[in-house]
Amino acid sequence: MPVYGYCRCSTDESRQDIDRQRRELRKLGVSDENIYFEYASGIKIDRVEWERLLSVVKEGDTIATTEVSRLTRSTKQLCDIIEMAKTKRIKLVIGGFAVDFRSDTPDPMTEGMLLMWGVFAEMERNIISQRVKSGMANAKSKGRQIGRPKTDLDSLPNSFIRHYPKYKQGDLTVTDLSRLCSVSRQSIYKYIKIYEEANIL
């Protein structure tokens, strides 16, 4: 049965981290073509690559990830993922920890451990969020600029500019571009809009 991998980072500045996740997934037996990755918040519901992964997973398959927080940082969403795994009868592998929902009677102790990890992941996110808000308020009080630098034509990645002509010719899809540039599909759509609005065709 196929083994699929999922890795996620909150921002596309965390490329080293997502590369580390991909290396660990390979060690878990996931081939590169079965690794789905994206840059999105862990509490976001409609994550593009996650939804793509769920659309191809069938009964008996396995989804692997490096840790619970890569799947989600919401306990409610984790409960939904567990129910999905039960319904689809798939196996979840979290690093070296496996939860097999392919049988009719999954181990309640193992399932409970997974939920506990989810609670800790959500708590960690809330602590980080609180620290970030405090840091932003402190920076703002000192007159510093808050927020990410604006993406414009001059800051587009060289990899996108290099591969864009192939996309325009129909040789590459948005998904292909996102993998080649190691960014999310959402970022690719933003890059395309910026590039084409500049009339560089």
pLDDT tens track, the chain, 201 positions: 899 999 998 876 556 688 899 999 999 999 999 999 998 888 888 889 999 999 999 999 999 999 888 888 888 888 888 889 888 999 999 888 888 888 766 677 667 766 676 665 666 656 655 665 666 666 667 666 555 556 777 778 888 888 999 998 999 999 898 888 888 888 899 889 888 887 654
Looking at the domain assignment, is residue 60 inside a domain? yes
Distance CA 45, CA 22 (A): 22
* Bridge-based pairing state of the strands 3-9 and 35-39: parallel
55 touches 63 (CB < 8 A): no
Reduced to 3 DSSP states, what percent helix, strand and coil does the chain have, rounded to the nearest 5?
A: 55, 10, 30
Both 58 and 157 in one domain: the answer is no
Distance CA 116, CA 156 (A): 41
Both 97 and 38 in one domain: the answer is yes
Both 176 and 91 in one domain: the answer is no
The pair of structure tokens assigned to 143 is 């007159």
Both 91 and 184 in one domain: the answer is no
Both 7 and 65 in one domain: the answer is yes
Looking at the domain assignment, is residue 93 inside a domain? yes
Domain that holds residue 174: 153-197
Q: Which helix (H) or strand (E) holds 75?
A: helix 75-88
Tell me the residue length of the chain: 201
Both 115 and 157 in one domain: the answer is no
Task: Evaluate if pTM is beyond 0.85.
Answer: no
Looking at the domain assignment, is residue 130 inside a domain? no
Total structural domains within the chain: 2
